[in-house]
Amino acid sequence: MFYPENISVGLEQPEVSGMVTGKFVLEVVEDAERDRRLTVTVELAQGVPPAEETARAVGEAILGQLLRLNSEFAAYVPADRQPPFIRLRETGDPDYFPPGSKHRYTRG
């Protein structure tokens, strides 16, 4: 139901594109109540520090594009669970974006 190209379009929006590299990892994370939520780990552009305002802007940009481009997401994911949880990582984060390795968009 989540397509990497929908997330990419969100990260290309003018309000966030200068803050991120465009690399991200999608995960569906289950909480203690067994509710699932889309989690997107995003690589920040060089020199951009992680900040709550940045995470909020990235989340809003991604959600806007998901709702616009993905009718299944808009119709079947309850509105209170639609906003993605955003994790920000610095450029080259060894756990998510190690330099010199092929990028993966999803993680199980």
Q: Which domains are delineated in the chain? A: 4-89 (3.30.300.30)
13-28 tens-digit pLDDT: 999 999 999 999 999 8
pLDDT above 90 (res 35):
no
Q: In what order do the strands lie in the sheet with 36-44?
A: 20-30, 36-44, 85-89
pLDDT above 90 (res 57):
yes
**Backbone φ and ψ of 84, nearest 5°:** -75, 150
How much is the average pLDDT of 79-85? 93
Token reading at 7 = 């997330």
CB of 85 closer than 8 Å to CB of 40: yes
pTM of the model: 0.91
Using DSSP, state whether 41 is helix, strand or coil. strand
Angle between helices 4-11 and 52-69 (to 10 degrees): 130
pLDDT above 70 (res 108):
no
71-81 tens-digit pLDDT: 999 999 999 99
Q: What is the pLDDT of residue 2?
A: 63
pLDDT above 80 (res 53):
yes
For residue 85, the surrounding DSSP H or E stretch is: strand 85-89
Length reported for the chain: 108
